[in-house]
Structure 1
């Protein structure tokens, strides 16, 4: 298992990934690899449960949307959508299962797919190998 967090706040522009600054638990174990400060997590073959949560705000009104991606592609069922007013707040979470097939690895990320830049605080990504 690996638990990656982003302490404080960060601005995540549309099309960019949430960065996770700290590996709270794991993050450099045999099957799950994450470099602190990066928005990418590398998984070796297996079945994983991936959970993301965070608090969101924006300087302009709009739709804030994030999704968990595998190798750059959207994972169905992973999208978080919240509409905020200027300086408004929202939060959300998503949990999905991810399979990584042999012979190699896969990369996970959490991308801002909304209409405005988002201010993200207390972002947390938990990845657990379940099979």
Structure 2
């Protein structure tokens, strides 16, 4: 059950991933790979079955970045660069800098012998501030 975090506030451009700067708990079995500072986490299909199944959850605080316009902003779990509509969080701050706590989660199947990348992506049309971001990966099957 690895955990990846980014506690300091950081500005994330539209369509970009939230960089994960710390690894409080690493995966010691090689099922999940990550390089500190990267927004991408790799899930590996190491299994004797047809697929490896993971539960990926992400939460954190988001706000409209300085210089932006108050309005709806969103983040989404993305698989291989494609945001999941079912794992999207949308909030509407009344003012720039107003933080909202968001949570998204998805079950992801990785075919045997394959790899998939996941990330928490800014799916807004403007830059956001992301703070106290936490991604946890559980291998469930």
TM over 0.5: yes
Partner of 2:63: 57
**Structure 1 residue ranges, 4+ long, deviating more than 6 angstroms after superposition:** none
Counterpart-to-counterpart distance in 2, 1:87 and 1:6: 18
1:74-131 per-position Cα deviation (integer Å, ceiling 9, x unaligned)? 2241001001122222121011110011231111111101122111110000011111
Q: Structure 2 length as normaliser, TM-score? A: 0.87
Q: Does 1:109 align with 2:115?
A: no
How many equivalent residue pairs?
A: 131
Unaligned runs of 5+ in 2: 46-51
Instruction: Quote the Cα distance in structure 1 between the aligned partners of 2:128 and 2:71.
Output: 9
Distance, in Å, in 2 between the alignment partners of 1:102 and 1:122 is 33
Q: Give me the TM-score of the superposition, normalised by structure 1.
A: 0.94
Question: Aligned partners of 1:121, 1:28: CA distance in 2, in Å?
Answer: 26
Contact persistence 2:14–2:126 (CA under 8 A):
yes
Please list every run of 5 or more consecutive structure 1 residues that lacks an aligned counterpart in the other structure. Answer: none
Q: How far apart, in 2, do the equivalents of 1:86 and 1:119 lie?
A: 10
Structure 1 vs Structure 2 CA RMSD: 1.3
From 84, 88, 92, the equivalent of 2:98 is 88
